[in-house]
Structure 1
């Protein structure tokens, strides 16, 4: 039963990735005052299935000087990593009460960088290696801030369980007393998922798609699915941590859709950052904000402890 429910959830995630791509193409077309996909099926609703069939039915080619086995296994590793992290989702049917869920989240999210590195290295291309090197230096900057923001809430809840975010936000959402952290978190989520304006590992204008330049057909589809499923997961996590976390209500899923729309809106509105500006933003702005919040609440909890127990 547990295997069937997990399989059902993964199928739903894959379908949601397909329709998220349709939503992105529709929103981008309306923002740019043009028509989006509207021919395949009613209002273009069958377009994601058409795109999926087209990618997987294409001929597989590989660079002659690439590391053949690793080159083919890397997209599968990225897909498994991005789908494996969804076992944290607290769904009701056969729900898993993951006591150390947020530690598991940090471990799995830090593994995503290995997929980019090995994809770039095994392709044996100059542009792919440049893309993976930029991914490494980018990851060092924002992963520290993401970890510190989550540590702040671990410390606040005295728990690593993701379900406790729902229990502790019954009266007030965490976004209201940690507003700067919320925007820092959103920026780091965009860098984590390689989205505009922080898509330096792909960088179409200067790296011609970066780390995945040598992939086409099924391999590119796996990388594409892993990236978009990570975006939906980060939107779900943002809704859990900051926006109430009541995963049993309809409004929880509405908030996820609005956050996905926000990711698309940012892509349509903002140009790509200069590379050194992300480093400056992560080390000089986001890191001091998260550290100040952490030390401030640490001091408050110490004062409360001394007042009540000593």
Structure 2
């Protein structure tokens, strides 16, 4: 009898625990006392939708205490089921509200699902952030190489955060603007004299268009003089011209040597022909003497 009573009591406790798990009355009471009205049936159905009702209740209480009243439990459930970071979204909405920034739950959820840190983005929007641009090397028109370092102060553009370009795009655009300004300077002294002119020109080009940031200022932190590229190019050109002149002189010398050798060969050929002709004279005289032509000619000359 006692065993049956204990078994019944145990089953009753298990049943009550199961009912309380499926129907979280304690969470419903906590929400009610916190001023958040959530349907008890909705809390029970969250179990079947694999949504932790404790998370939703806590986030609703947090949002309500911060004055965020336009967020529904359905929106929170959807964002959680999409593997979003619900706590970061609610905290971002709280910070945005305190800073008088316009941001809806839909915007914050979209930023979070896009893979960006929505809470950090709101913090950067409230407190400007400095982007350090790596050393940029430019060349002025007089051939002097200049190395500039820039600091870009930005804040988050909430409306462009989804689909907008990131920090690397800002660095690339600022670097391109600095190179363009240095390249337009007649001498490197112009750049060294007024480095703020680079900042003004680059800032006026609207380099933050299509990015997730709004550029507040561009400051040239340092400018160093690099190599004299113009002089180096002139020296290289002079060496190239010298090598070309040497090559042409060597070509002319080779032609002269070849011509000299050709003339020497012609002289040797002429000498050979002369020697050959000289060897033919005695033979001709001997033939004429034997034929009597030589004596007849002599006698005719005597007459």
Q: TM-score, normalised by structure 1?
A: 0.19
Relative to its length, the structure with more helix (as a share) is 1
Larger RCO (CA within 8 A; separation ≥ 6): 1
Relative to its length, the structure with more strand (as a share) is 2
